[in-house]
Amino acid sequence: MPELPEVEVVRSGLAPALVDATVSAVTVHDARALTRHPGSVEDFEHALRGARVVAVCRRGKFLWMPFTPTDGSDTARAVVAHLGMSGQMLLRASGAPVERHERIRLDIDHPDHGALAVVFADQRTFGSLALDPLLPTTDAAPGGFGADDATVPAQVAHIARDPLDPALDETRLRTLWARKRSAIKRVLLDQTVISGVGNIYADEALWGARIHPETPADALSARHATRLLAEVRSVLDKALAEGGTSFDAQYVNVNGQAGYFAHSLNAYGRGGEPCPRCDGELRREAFMNRSSHYCPRCQRRR
């Protein structure tokens, strides 16, 4: 599934075209793309038609677009995008042909860029768009990247801040880790503790910090916890610089281009190969219906 870097690449690509744009038309081709929307297809279309997009925001792997309503509603709402396994948000020219697996199209008019189309395409139909009320953040800080207001969609409110969020409370995070007896990799993947980190980047960060994925979180010293957070941030920053990781043709930016961080991976997907650091053999083991990749020589279990 797409992780923080892939979703941030999409957010940063959408923002220049969407912020201050007005939605001129909404076309829902497939109602399955509204599975997380609490209302009807007609409600979704009516609420967005004529609305002005205020921002394009992200927390962890979740995107949302607050908008100024035109239906007389006093409730602040946003379009929440759950990309699922294969969801794509694509920018296209106005009147462009229907994309393969296109589920929803928003036609927009931007004061600087003119008429454009925002296409939500999803091959496997696990993704969704939804209209969701905005709630105050619990720490009174902006909801996430791209957000000015201290609000977050109700469907995203349980998601913790991510490693790159300036509002992340590092002291609180380390305290949470110290209270967890679960393996540190499981804790890294827990989106209610810290968000945006998936299987790929967890393996890479743990390799960089020389920490075995099965090390209990509460066994990490303060020094190791600090090193791990630094490695998580470093890995995410590097992946962002390369446009994310693309093992699947579905993981693309708003222009349909794939990321290249897969060429820079040190551990993930390299089971049986030599460790780039110590030349030991990297190991691949089953983990939560997925796999863990690590070096038993330089990531010793504590």
Q: Which of 86 and 53 is assigned the larger pLDDT?
A: 53
Tell me: is residue 124 an annotated ligand-binding position.
Answer: yes
CATH number at residue 262: 1.10.8.50
Q: Is residue 95 domain-resident? A: yes
**Average pLDDT, stretch 16-38?**
96
Q: What is the pLDDT of residue 270?
A: 93
Q: What is the pLDDT of residue 248?
A: 43
Q: Is residue 41 domain-resident? A: yes
Q: Which of 242 and 97 is assigned the larger pLDDT?
A: 97
CATH number at residue 145: 3.20.190.10
Question: Tokens 């009516």 label which residue?
Answer: 46
**pLDDT higher than 80, residue 60:** yes
Q: Is residue 160 domain-resident? A: no
Q: What is the pLDDT of residue 69?
A: 80
Active-site residue (options: 32, 172, 179, 290): 290
- Detail the DSSP E strand segments found in the chain: 22-28, 52-53, 57-59, 62-68, 77-82, 87-93, 102-110, 114-122, 128-136, 151-153, 283-287, 290-294
Total number of domains constituting the chain: 2
Q: Is residue 162 domain-resident? A: no
**Does 61 qualify as catalytic in the annotation?**
yes
Residues 235 and 185 grouped into a single domain: yes
260: containing domain: 170-294
For the chain, give the percent of residues with pLDDT over 90: 79
Residues 181 and 206 grouped into a single domain: yes
Residues 181 and 225 grouped into a single domain: yes
Q: Two tokens at 95? A: 């009147």
Residues 101 and 224 grouped into a single domain: no
Q: What is the pLDDT of residue 187?
A: 97
**Does 238 qualify as catalytic in the annotation?**
no
How far apart CA 185 and CA 162 sit, in angstroms, is 15
Residues 144 and 223 grouped into a single domain: no
Residues 111 and 194 grouped into a single domain: no
Q: What is the pLDDT of residue 2?
A: 75
Short-list 291, 65, 285, CA closest to 198: 291
Residues 40 and 90 grouped into a single domain: yes
Residues 76 and 114 grouped into a single domain: yes
Active-site residue (options: 2, 153, 163, 213): 2
**pLDDT higher than 70, residue 86:** yes
**Average pLDDT, stretch 15-23?**
96
Residues 72 and 117 grouped into a single domain: yes
Residues 274 and 219 grouped into a single domain: yes
Summarize the chain as % helix, strand, coil (round to 5): 25, 25, 50
Q: Is residue 219 domain-resident? A: yes
Residues 184 and 107 grouped into a single domain: no
Residue 6 phi, psi dihedral angles, 5° rounding: -65, -40
pTM for the structure as a whole: 0.89
For the chain, give the percent of residues with pLDDT over 70: 91
Residues 273 and 132 grouped into a single domain: no
Tell me: is residue 29 an annotated ligand-binding position.
Answer: no
**Does 69 qualify as catalytic in the annotation?**
no
Q: For residue 199, how far is the Cα from the chain centroid?
A: 13
Active-site residue (options: 58, 59, 61, 161): 61
**Does 133 qualify as catalytic in the annotation?**
no
